[in-house]
Structure 1
Amino acid sequence: MSKKMGNAVARNRIKRVVREYFRLHQFDFELPLDIVVVPKRNLEARQLTLALTKEEFTPLFTRICAEAAAS
């Protein structure tokens, strides 16, 4: 993650929240996947919550898993 995302505190918060999402949902994804997450540049780390992360990521990974299973 680049310094464009803010200072070290902000970057670490983003990483912690994303890791926690994957820790809680690691068994929801049936396929073995390597995932790279690139945060949006306008993301405010202070406003990032686990609920917001879940709201953004769950539909994406549901679609990714469905497409991967179909192929």
Structure 2
Amino acid sequence: MRRRVEFLACYERGRKYRSPSFLVFALPRDGEAAGPRFGSAVSKKHGNAVLRNRVKRILREFFRFARPNLAVPLDFVIVPKSNLDPQTLSLAAATAELSPLCARIAREFERFQEARRQA
């Protein structure tokens, strides 16, 4: 995801999920059979550009590894909470926290799609 309109749609119409260090917004995409898309929003509260870019790189790498397990047409926006320390964040820590959350989101989406098909 790159455009502001896509991020705003995810914030406004998407569902919000919480973990100790992240907020995840998830929005189903209609009519598209492609897999998930990812965006991140790291505010200036997390430090200078070097630290913010570090967080974004780690989140992109997490999503690159998680993408094969998420075969659902969803838009994800991951927003780090203010309690996240960008200097100590690691890929392992992000994966441990976000993997169960993304799996839960995918399960809920699959259930929603199944109920929609039966109705």
Compute the TM-score of the two structures, normalised by the length of structure 2. 0.58
Q: What is the Cα deviation at residue 2 of structure 1?
A: 2.0
Deviations along 1:6-32, one digit per CA (max 9) or x if unpaired, are 111110000000000011121110101
Between Structure 1 and Structure 2, which shows a larger proportion of strand residues? 2
Q: % of aligned pairs identical? A: 48
Aligned counterpart in structure 2 of residue 6 of structure 1, from 47, 50, 66: 47
Aligned partner of 2:24 in structure 1 is none
**CA distance, structure 2, for counterparts of residue 70 and residue 25 of structure 1:** 20
Per chain length, whose mean CA-contact separation is higher, i.e. which structure has more relative contact order (CA < 8 Å, sep 6+)? 1
One-letter amino acid of the structure 2 residue matched with residue 23 of structure 1: R
One-letter amino acid of the structure 2 residue matched with residue 28 of structure 1: N
Between Structure 1 and Structure 2, which shows a larger proportion of helix residues? 1
RMSD: 0.8
Higher Cα radius of gyration: 2
2:51·2:86 contact (CA, 8 Å) conserved in 1?
Answer: yes
In structure 1, stretches of 5+ residues that fail to align are none
**CA distance, structure 2, for counterparts of residue 38 and residue 25 of structure 1:** 17
Find runs of 4+ consecutive structure 1 residues off by over 2 angstroms: none
